[in-house]
Amino acid sequence: MTAPSPRPSPSQGTDDFARGLAGVVAGKTAICSLDGDLRYRGYSIAPLAEAGDFEDVAHLLLHGHLPTASEHAAFSRRVHEAAASIDPTVIETLRVLAARTPNASPMDALRTGVSLLGQIELDQQPGPHAALVSQAERLLGQVPAILAAWLDLSAGRPVAPWPEGSIAAALLERLTGRKPSAAEASIFGTTLVLYAEHEFNASTFAARTVVSTGSDMHSGIVAAIGALKGPLHGGANEQVLEALAEIGSLDRVIPWLEERFAAKKVVMGFGHRVYKDGDVRAKILGGMCRRLADDGEGLALERLADAVEQMMLDRKNLRPNLDWPAARVYHALGLPVRVFTPIFVVARMSGWTAHVIEQVGDNRIIRPLSIYSGVAPRDWQPRDAR
Ligand code: COA
C-alpha cells in the first residue's frame, strides 16, 4: 500500500503537480500491463491480435481466462442474444431522435443508448460480481446493435435484424450492408482485439471514477463513451483519415505537415502518453494494413501514410499510435469515417466493463487533490455594496 502524499499547501506557493496526471500511478489492475509489451491478463497482444477472435479476448478480460470451446460457444451465444433483442423502447427513442437530429454523431447515439438501457434496467448501483459480469456481457452485444440501429434510423430505414456470426462478422455486415469475407471479418476482429483494453486511459479512468462513488455500471460506461469521443482519445481515428484525405498526394505531405507544425497543431494518430518508443499495436496493425492494400487506391494511401510517418519521425521523433493504421484498415473495408470511433467503443466495452467490475470489487472513492491557483482570500460584501 502506497503512503498518501502530503496535501500540497497553496500558502507554500507549490506548483508541484503532474499536468494531465502524467506519470502518476493511480491504482492497481490485474487486467492489462503496458511495461515493454502490451498484455491482457498476462497474454502478449501479438498472438491475440493474430487470432483476431474478439469473443476470446472479451471473455478473457471479463472472466479472467481464455475460454474453452464450450465456454466460447456459450459466451458468444449470450452476447449474440443481447444484440438480437434490444429493448423496443431504446429503438423507439432513437427513432424520435434520428428524425430530429439525423446528422448527430453516432457517438452521441451510443451514449444516449447506454443511458436508456441503464434507466430501463433500473440500474441504480453495482450488484454482486455475477450480476455485473452478466450486465457486461449484455452490453457487449447491445452496443454494436445500437450502433447499427442508429445508422438505419438516421438514414430513414427500418432497423435490420442482427445477423448471425461473431461480433466482428455481424457488425461488419451491418455497417457495410454485405456479408464480409472471412479475411475481412478476421482483420476487423483484429482491430477489435487491439482496441479492447488499455489500462488507465482517460475513458477507462472516467468509468472507474464514476463507479468508485457507488454509482452504477451504465453511468460509468456513459462517462467513458463521452471521454472516448474526444479527438485526443478515441476521436483521433476519424481525424486520421480526414487528414490523409486533406493531404491527398505525396507532394503535399511536406507543406501540409509544415503548416501543421507552424500552427502548433497535433497530427492525429501520432504520439502517446505511455508509449514513447512506438505503440506496439500500431506496429502489429501497420503490417496487416500494408498487406490489405492490394489495389491502386490502397497502395497510394499506404505510400502517403509512409511519407507522413517518416517526416513525423524525422522532425518530431514521434511514432504512430493504433489509430493511424486502424483508420486505414476501416477505410479499406469500405466503412464510413463516422463509424470509426463508435467501433472503438464496441471493442473497448470489454475493457471498460472489466475495469468497472475490478473497481467495484476493491473500491475506494477516487478523489484526488488540487492546488488552489485563484485570487487571495477576500471578504464577502452584500450585493448593494459590490
Ligand atoms: N503531433 C504533433 N506534436 C505532438 C503530437 C502529435 N500527434 N503528440 C505530441 N506532440 C508533441 C507535444 O505537443 C509536445 O510538444 P512540446 O514539448 O513542444 O509541447 C511533445 O510532442 C510531447 O508530447 P507529450 O506531452 O508527451 O504528449 P501527451 O502525453 O500530453 O499527449 C497525446 C499524448 C496522445 C494526447 C498526444 O500525443 C496527441 O495529441 N496525439 C494526437 C491525438 C491522437 O492520436 N490520440 C490518440 C491517442 S491513442
Task: With cut-offs at 50, 70 and 90, classify the pLDDT of residue 12.
Answer: very low
Choose which residue among 232, 274, 319 to substitute to test ligand 1 binding: the one with the highest number of ligand atoms within 8 A of its C-beta. 232
Instruction: Please state, rounded to an integer, the average pLDDT across all residues of the chain.
Output: 94
What is this structure's pTM? 0.94
Q: What is the mean pLDDT of residues 203-220?
A: 98
Q: Is the pLDDT of residue 40 over 60?
A: yes
Q: Among residues 155, 113, 125, which one has the least CA distance to residue 345?
A: 113
Q: Which three cell numbers stand for residue 223?
A: 462517462
- Percent share of the chain, pLDDT over 70: 96
Q: Which domains does the chain have, with CATH numbers?
A: 32-230+340-361 (1.10.580.10), 236-332 (1.10.230.10)
Helices of type H across the chain? 45-51, 54-63, 69-84, 88-100, 106-120, 129-154, 167-176, 182-195, 202-212, 217-228, 236-247, 253-262, 280-292, 296-316, 323-332, 340-361
Q: Is 320 in the pocket of ligand 1 (CB under 6 A)?
A: no
pLDDT in tens, 234-249: 989 999 999 999 999 9
Q: Is the pLDDT of residue 13 over 70?
A: no
Q: Residue holding cell 435490420? A: 160
Q: Is 46 in the pocket of ligand 1 (CB under 6 A)?
A: no
Question: Ligand 1 atom 37: the closest Cα is on which residue?
Answer: 271
Q: What is the mean pLDDT of residues 26-46?
A: 95
**pLDDT of 325:** 96
Q: What is the mean pLDDT of residues 259-268?
A: 96
pLDDT in tens, 171-199: 999 999 999 999 999 999 999 999 999 99
Question: Ligand 1 atom 23: the closest Cα is on which residue?
Answer: 271
Q: Is the pLDDT of residue 81 over 70?
A: yes
Query: Which residues have CB under 8 Å from 61's CB, separation 6+?
Result: 31, 40, 41, 196, 197, 350, 351, 354
Distance CA 236, CA 230 (A): 8
